[in-house]
Amino acid sequence: VNAADLAVSGATAITYTTQDDTEVTGNPMGMKTNIVFSASGELDNGMSMSYYIMGKDNFAAGSSSAKLTLDMGDMGSIAFDQGVGSGIDAYDDVMPTANEEVWDGLDTTGSGLTGSMDSSGTLNYVNSFGGVGVNAAYRMGSAADNSDGTTSGSNEGGGYSVVLTAGSDLLGLDGLDIGVGYGAQEAGAQNVANHNERDTEDFTAFAKYAIGPVTVGYQRNYISAGAIGTASEEADIFGIAFNVNDNLAVSYGEKETEFLKAGAAHTTEKVDGIGVSYTMGSMKIAGNRNEGSAMGGVAGTDDKDTEIMISFSF
């Protein structure tokens, strides 16, 4: 790159959070700061390179994510991802919401969500063919945010995923977006006697439709667990968001995750939540109230989370 543009942006938020009666809230006040550095520049052959890094909470250890991307024009883009989001990991829950997802802040936030192979240390390819978007990810070996000249120390845990999407240009219906995805992650059979573990597989399908100020969505996820004794999960996610005006938005959503237990009765975790946000220039005031039952597939375990946030972007 012979010339580059550098930009700095970010956001900070102050939150007030309360949880259910079985948990000790203590000091409910908290603060989060995200700082983003991005750089881009053109190569001599007409392609371009870009770099993105976001540090969370003053760049504390393990709380940053980065992505280096080569944009090849009509040939698409290829990137090395350290936790930003690639492949099916970037589509675990794409339902419309005014603030946080309906499971945010609850005890088992990952129930029924795709992305068994996260985006740490992955190669990512993104392109569009005839109106069909492609987002593919591939990782060799275990998930590790390796620095230069280091290795993860394990050949297991690698995998791949791909998501195909289509919008109104292809479907012929304004406001409609659909997508399907599949992913597989190695189960780590070398560490198990008899090598009888299976790969973990992720499936997702979703549709969103926006008409005027209202957006509705439905998503179906299925996670086929590879580890012996681990229940597979089947999730149905629904969301609806309404933009009251240019500043105010409200939403409601539900997620039901059925835990398919071998040799035992299946259980269903149910969560729902409401969200609201109001923006005034660079400031946003938002809140959500999420509730759940049978958390993690354990009958009789309930959870609640309420959060009020005021944030500033810069």
Secondary structure in 3-state letters for 293-309:
ECHHHCCCCCEEEEEEE
The structure tokens listed for 62 are: 């393990």
What phi and psi, each to the nearest 5 degrees, are found at residue 35? -120, 130
Banded pLDDT at 60 (limits 50, 70, 90): low
| Higher local confidence (pLDDT), 38 or 2 | 38
Residue 75 phi/psi, 5-degree rounding, is -85, 0
pLDDT above 60: residue 59: no
According to the model, what pLDDT value does residue 217 have?
A: 98
Give 234-279 pLDDT, tens digit per residue: 999 999 999 999 999 999 999 999 999 877 889 999 999 999 999 9
Q: Which residue has the higher pLDDT, 226 or 98?
A: 98
- What average pLDDT score do residues 4-11 get? 88
* pLDDT score for 96: 97
Q: What percent of the chain shows pLDDT beyond 70?
A: 90
- pLDDT confidence band for 3 (50 / 70 / 90): low
19-33 mean pLDDT: 86
pLDDT at 196: 53
Question: Does the pLDDT at position 194 exceed 60?
Answer: no
**Statement: residue 17 has pLDDT above 90:** yes
Q: Mean pLDDT of all residues in the chain?
A: 89
Query: Which H helix or E strand runs over 121?
Result: strand 120-129
Average pLDDT value for residue range 49-60: 78
Please say whether the dihedral angle defined by the alpha carbons of residues 247, 99, 174 and 209, taken in this order, is positive or negative.
negative
pLDDT of residue 5: 84
Give residue-wise pLDDT tens across range 65-105: 899 999 999 999 999 999 899 999 999 999 999 999 999 99
Per-residue pLDDT tens for 125-152? Answer: 999 999 999 999 999 887 777 777 778 7
pLDDT at 58 over 80: no
pLDDT at 63 over 70: no
Contact of 104 with 305, CB cutoff 8 Å: yes
